[in-house]
Amino acid sequence: MIITVTLNLALDVTYQVPAVDWDGVNRVSAVHRRAGGKGVNVARVLAALGRDVLVTGLAGGPTGQAIEADLRAAGLPSALYAIAGDSRTTLAVSDLPPTQGTQGITCFAP
């Protein structure tokens, strides 16, 4: 078993828009929420390659609960340590098809 440690777990939220208009209003066509952080990303790849993994790290608040729920839904076993603060959220805006790339924004972290 491979244990990954992610001290700053995140809930990655991606808003997809038909085309990004930085000076106008953007209509979101889809929203995706997924547990994130470097260790989680590594665990996803290792699990896809057939390896047994355990995701560990710090998570708290409603965001931490959403992270834990997503890990469970993805079939990634976890042993998370509860913290007092709310886990961080990252936000990405992506156009479809991707012509301008993705703009990422990291919100505050505990």
Q: What is the pLDDT of residues 60-94, one digit of tens each?
A: 999 999 999 999 999 999 999 999 999 999 988 88
- Say if residue 52's pLDDT is above 70: yes
Give the Cα separation of 102 and 52 in Å (integer). 31
Kindly report the length of the chain.
110
Largest CA distance in the chain: 49
What's the pLDDT score for residue 85? 92
CATH 3.40.1190.30 fits 2-106, yes or no: yes
Average pLDDT along the chain: 89
Higher pLDDT, 15 or 87: 87
pTM over 0.75, yes/no: yes
Q: What is the pLDDT of residues 97-107, one digit of tens each?
A: 666 666 666 66
Give the Cα separation of 58 and 31 in Å (integer). 25
Domain boundaries, the chain: 2-106
Peptide bond into 97 cis (omega under 30): yes
Nearest to 76 by CA among 28, 106, 35: 35
